[in-house]
């Protein structure tokens, strides 16, 4: 099995669950905050959280820790996804302005 096939099998086994846990972490955060419900913004945040959760899961794939800890890390990382994306976007824009 090559590396790509291995990653696909890992995603089929548990990766999609971690994406859902991260999305649920974000959804819970949005429900408990006073942020006004705007469907498009909430969808973006939940999708972003699932992407971050999936990335965190694959980065922890070979780390030897209990699966329960991995799931908690993925859901918590998903709930902080908007701040992460804002930070990356700000740094990227700043880099572009510095290079002009």
Task: Name the token pair of 46.
Answer: 């939940």
Nearest-angstrom CA–CA distance, 73 and 60: 9
Determine the structural domain holding residue 11 and report its residue range: 3-99
93 or 21: which carries more pLDDT confidence?
Answer: 93
The DSSP letter of residue 65 is: S
Residue-level pLDDT at 84: 80
Number of domain units in the chain: 1
What is the mean pLDDT of the segment spanning 8-33? 80
Rounded to two decimals, the pTM is 0.69
For residue 11, pLDDT over 80 is answered with no
Mean pLDDT taken over the chain: 81
């Amino acid at each position: 099995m090559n590396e790509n096939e291995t990653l696909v099998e890992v995603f089929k086994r548990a990766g999609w669950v971690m994406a859902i846990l991260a999305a649920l972490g974000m959804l819970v955060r949005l429900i408990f905050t006073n942020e006004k419900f705007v469907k498009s913004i909430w969808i973006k945040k939940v999708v972003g959280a699932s992407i971050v959760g999936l990335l965190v899961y694959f980065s922890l794939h070979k780390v030897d820790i209990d699966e329960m800890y991995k799931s908690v890390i993925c859901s918590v990382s998903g709930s902080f996804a908007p701040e992460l994306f804002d930070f990356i976007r700000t740094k990227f824009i700043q880099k572009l302005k510095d290079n002009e």
